[in-house]
Amino acid sequence: MTEKLDEFSDMLKTFDDVELENIYKRRMAVKPLYDYFQKLTLLVGAEICGLNKRSLSASHLKYRWESIRSCIVFEGIEISDEWNTLIKKISEIRHKVEHNDEFDPKPEKLVQVRGKAPEFKKWLLHVADVYIKKHRDIHSSRRFIVYCVSMYSMLV
């Protein structure tokens, strides 16, 4: 897992190396930043929450976040609105870059998201650690059942 965590540093370094003064470079800088959150939520969703990696890896960030968020909320762990807003912000920026050739992501918004990324990772991995300690003896398929029950209970 340590090797996977180093990958996150590489993504942030890739973002940091981009000159944000140029619109095209800013648009390209969105990719490693978005991938940072995508891969982090995939790692936690699949390896910690026991969600199906194949289906989760084909999903967009908002879906991944909602999936692991359900696991976290089910455990009674409070999620700050700051994290929901962060995921929403990077998702919207990425969507606009991908679907509007003229969209200009503002450097200050990218820098703001980038600045919060390590804090988000630290928080999420801490929550994942709490979750794993609590469910150490539960097989991943049973964790998935717990997840499904939590999703159902949120709908009712």
pTM over 0.85: no
Rg of the Cα atoms in the chain: 16
What's the pLDDT at 132? Answer: 77
pLDDT digits (tens, 9 = 90+) for 50-103: 889 999 999 999 999 999 998 888 778 889 999 999 999 999 999 999 999 999
The closest alpha carbon to 74, from 154, 134, 139, belongs to 154
21 within 8 A of 113, measured Cβ to Cβ: no
Name, in order, each residue with C-beta under 8 angstroms of 126's C-beta and a sequence gap of 6 or more. none
Place of tokens 């150490």: 136
Q: Domain count for the chain, please give it.
A: 1
pLDDT digits (tens, 9 = 90+) for 94-119: 999 999 999 999 999 999 999 999 99
Range of the domain at 121: 2-155
Whole-number Å distance between alpha carbons of 136 and 156: 28
